[in-house]
Amino acid sequence: MKPARIVITGIGLTAPNGNSLAEFRQNLLNGVAGVERFEVRYMGDLLAGVCHYDPLKYQKKKEVRVGTRAGSISIYCAREALADSGVNFEAMPKDRVGIYIGCTEHGNVETENEIFNVSKFNYDTKFWSHYHNPRTVANNPAGETSLNLGITGPAYTIGAACAAGNMGLIHATQMLRLGEVDFAICGGVSESIHTFGIFAGFKSQNALATHEDPKKASRPFDKARNGIVISEGGGLYTLERLEDAQARGAKIYGEIAGYHVNSDASDYVLPNPTRQAECVRHAIARAGLTPAEIHIVNTHATATPLGDIQECEAIRAVFGEGCPDTYINNTKSFIGHAMGAAGALELAGNLPSFDDLIVHPTINVDDLDPQCALPGLVLNQPVKAKRVDAILNNSFGMLGINSTLIVKRFVA
Amino acid sequence: MTKDQCKQVVIDIITDIAPDEDLSALKPEVRLRDQLQLDSMDFLDIVMELRKRHGIEVPEADYIQLASLDSCAEYLTPKFTAAGK
């Protein structure tokens, strides 16, 4: 039996350069980056991608105070996605709705905050917050969303380092096909800029970007790239089985065509281009496509000197020279690395290409690293494609987790 | 500290922990829970803030004393006085 066809029917997002898909897309086409100076505890003035959505649009002040930033981002994105989907949410059986949210990490922000808090009381733990545990449980972002929306179906997070954004969509696809739920809210979120630990960790790894102009700091594929710009953000989608979406006359952004997830099993932090290429090939095969039929490849590249080269090696191995209609781009050059949200945001930024046939560029490439030179790499200016029928989205993470997701143009 | 000042201490704390609530017509003799959307975690917040801001400890067995503004004042004023406040 063929698996059920799964389609995207709604998108809600907040990115450092936009709080809706329309605003985000416009800025990607206009070359508008969203990186700014940001004060990090113990470390001072650094660079980060900061979101400027209004938390009070969908939450009470008390919910914002008691909850987490990741929870707030999730609620904003989920509500925006539901509104965008046009579904009659009030009439929907809430126990048939699933929430699947990818996270790189969760709980570091809240734990650091509490340690800072008790440090002001001579580390006396009687001043430790009673909210610490509900804030730091790994399911927090999904759980806060279920509370806000009254959703009683399965709601949990998927921990998959920086591959997590894709994983939210992949897992939702699987759950819809299994019949576990009838409607899914899925994708990825990140609150990582509010933990100094992630900045300090990347700095100790010599992988934290610096640049006098914040908007030029995230520069994958450029010779002068010097590391990652850490960002917060969220991208959540509504996914449905095709028959359900059609029955209610839903707008369809695209159809989940294929995916794959694998593991390097080779290093804690260093990527493995062989496994990455395998992941991409398996996803393309599952989609029933050939590499030449993929028209946009959105890279994971984070602007680390080695990581970008290795991903390019993997892409070169799969796509080579025989894919004249395949364009390659990168979204992190605009918004930095949104960690658990990265895959979900980067896919969203490309989905409008099905309609306008424009491929957003990779910006900040003043001097292309020859080792990152790929046929079809879209540099600094958007290009008009002859056709965009399939978009492939790569997201890779530490401990060697790789995820590739392919969305194709919906054809009834 | 007077009982009225003690009530204001509690109101200041509730203003922060329940920022959506209108506290202008709070009745001192009525249970806080019957006038405001406060749950058990919020009462733990009141206990925590009394500890943080004023060094006042409220043992779990005495939480019931925080039911209304009047009972708060009756219970807490001697504690503030004993603490030299």
Asked whether A388 and A295 are in contact (CB, 8 A), the reply is yes
Q: Is A67 helix (H, G, I), strand (E, B) or coil?
A: coil
Write phi, then psi, for A389 (nearest 5 degrees): -110, -20
What total number of domains does chain B contain? Answer: 1
**Is A252 inside a domain boundary?**
no
Active site residue A337: yes
What total number of domains does chain A contain? Answer: 2
Q: Is B19 on the interface with A (CB under 8 A)?
A: yes
CATH number of the structural domain spanning residue A169: 3.40.47.10
Q: Name the residue among B63, B59, B72 with its Cα closest to residue B11.
A: B72
What mean pLDDT is predicted for residues B6-15?
97
Range of the domain at A353: 258-408
Q: Which of A247, A282, A309 is the last residue of a domain?
A: A247
Q: How many Cα atoms sit within 13 Å of A351 on the Cβ side?
A: 26
Asked whether A398 and A162 are in contact (CB, 8 A), the reply is yes
Q: CA separation (Å) from A342 to A319, A334, B21? A: 23, 12, 37
**Residue B8: per-residue pLDDT:** 97
**Residue B56: per-residue pLDDT:** 96
Tokens of A41: 């505890």
**Residue A216: per-residue pLDDT:** 98
Q: What percent of chain B has pLDDT over 90?
A: 95
Q: Identify whether residues A191 and A129 lie together within a single domain.
A: yes
Q: Identify whether residues A282 and A199 lie together within a single domain.
A: no
At A26, the amino acid letter reads Q
Q: Which of residues 11-70 of A touch B (CB under 8 A)?
A: 60-62, 65-66
Q: Identify whether residues A111 and A56 lie together within a single domain.
A: yes
**Residue A300: per-residue pLDDT:** 97
Q: Tell me which chain A residues have a C-beta less than 8 angstroms from the C-beta of B20.
A: 60-62
Asked whether A297 and A404 are in contact (CB, 8 A), the reply is no
CA atoms of A136 and A108, how far apart (whole Å): 8
Q: Is B51 in contact with A127 (Cβ distance < 8 A)?
A: yes
**Residue A321: per-residue pLDDT:** 86
Mean pLDDT of chain B: 96
**Is A148 inside a domain boundary?**
yes
Q: Identify whether residues A393 and A291 lie together within a single domain.
A: yes
**What ipTM, to 2 d.p.?**
0.94
What's the alpha-carbon Rg for chain B, to the nearest Å?
12
**Residue A323: per-residue pLDDT:** 97
CATH number of the structural domain spanning residue B77: 1.10.1200.10
- Location of structure tokens 């980067």: A346
Q: Identify whether residues A241 and A345 lie together within a single domain.
A: no
Q: Tell me which chain A residues have a C-beta less than 8 angstroms from the C-beta of B44.
A: 130
CA atoms of A410 and A394, how far apart (whole Å): 20
**Residue B69: per-residue pLDDT:** 97
CA atoms of B19 and A399, how far apart (whole Å): 42
Which helix H or strand E contains A260, and what residues bound it?
Answer: strand A254-263
CA atoms of A234 and A68, how far apart (whole Å): 13
- DSSP codes, A293-329: G--EEE----S-HHHHHHHHHHHHHHHTTS-TT-EEE
- Indicate whether B84 pLDDT > 90: no
Instruction: State the catalytic residue, choosing from A51, A337, A360, A372.
Output: A337
Q: Is A131 in contact with B41 (Cβ distance < 8 A)?
A: yes
- pLDDT under 50: residue ranges of chain A: none
Tens-digit pLDDT profile for residues B60-69: 999 999 999 9
Instruction: State the catalytic residue, choosing from A77, A103, A162, A186.
Output: A162
The pTM is what?
A: 0.97
Confidence of residue B85 (pLDDT cuts 50, 70, 90): confident
**Residue B22: per-residue pLDDT:** 95
Q: Which of A247, A272, A301 is the last residue of a domain?
A: A247
**Is A253 inside a domain boundary?**
no
**Residue A365: per-residue pLDDT:** 98
